Structure 1
């Protein structure tokens, strides 16, 4: 395989973060989350985006801390068509989904805000 390419992904996917490889894969993961009553956090990022890379290790960390949530990673360059259906103005953009419906959204690599929204989401399901 292409070394440089695989290196870029290493920093993005760790902990319990699952990369989304296709629209079908996305649908499958969402129905899985629905079945298990899990809230989904989808991180729409790009490998070339500095703030995305900066936030990636933190996102992986969060995924380990909160196994009751499903953490997904969508590469906007790999899934261009799918990503454009989500009207993404900037990367990273985080979508919070419950039963397939968007319940919250965060634009930008804002760690405290991401943490806050995750806490709020967790409180809402207790």
Structure 2
């Protein structure tokens, strides 16, 4: 058996042939021990050892087809943040609608409106009636571009609303020029006729004799006395009578009389 294997080759399952080189067993009955295996590279299939190919071959560096994603620009981030942070009272805003930030902002907006009709809208984010009425207010603002709409968030300005005697929502006040406050009322979608009637009555253009009045004197005093507000008001100096002082006249002393000499006759 040893002689046969020594003189023959073996074909492996992958088609390669190897030759067994061994020490032939003697007559002492020792078993056959193969000495070495020599592979032949006569076959074209896997012409060399797979391990040798894997160790010798240098694989090219992998190139990723993924391209780096550019970071969004600041304008895009601001736009996305604005869309995510938009509240219901910020939707549908028209150019003639403005949210009041402070008591001073309210006073300046009213006095700076001139002869325009100004509508102050008091609302609250948690007020269902305010939310339902908001789209219609935006429609009124769109169809009346000459009217100024001022929005006051009750939750942000509770102390200011308390000084202005606003205790029900939604609530509206109409102002115009030197006349000051024209009317004030509360209405919802069910009573929207109040708003339409007030717009028809006070929406016509007119010219005021004098500067815009804005808030009432009592309201200004209440805002100035409110310690929670950074607003000061010293009082209506315009109502005080002006004191007219005449220019002083220089008094000219009288001219001295000429002295008369008296001669005594003896």
TM-score for both structures, normalised by structure 1: 0.84
Task: Tell me which residue corresponds to 2:113.
Answer: 33
Shift of 1:71: 0.8
* Corresponding position: 1:104 with 2:156: no
Q: Which has the higher contact order (CA 8 A, sep 6+)?
A: 1
* Corresponding position: 1:113 with 2:191: no
Deviations 1:100-124 (A, max 9, x none): 7211112122322111111111147
Query: Larger strand proportion, structure 1 or 2?
Result: 1
Distance 1:2 1:59 in 2: 22
Distance 2:138 2:197 in 1: 16
Task: Tell me which residue corresponds to 1:18.
Answer: 98
**Residue-pair matches, total:** 123
Equivalent residue in structure 2 for 1:50, among 128, 143, 153: 128
Distance 2:157 2:144 in 1: 26
Q: Give secondary structure in 2 for the equivalent of 1:33.
A: coil
Shift of 1:9: 3.3
Unaligned runs of 5+ in 1: none
Q: Note closer, same or farther for the CA distance 1:5–1:91 as it changes in structure 2 (3 Å cut).
A: farther
Equivalent residue in structure 1 for 2:160, among 82, 85, 102: 82
TM-score for both structures, normalised by structure 2: 0.42
Task: Tell me which residue corresponds to 1:91.
Answer: 169
**Structure (1 or 2) with the larger CA radius of gyration:** 2
Q: What CA RMSD, in Å, does the superposition of the two structures yield over aligned residues?
A: 2.3
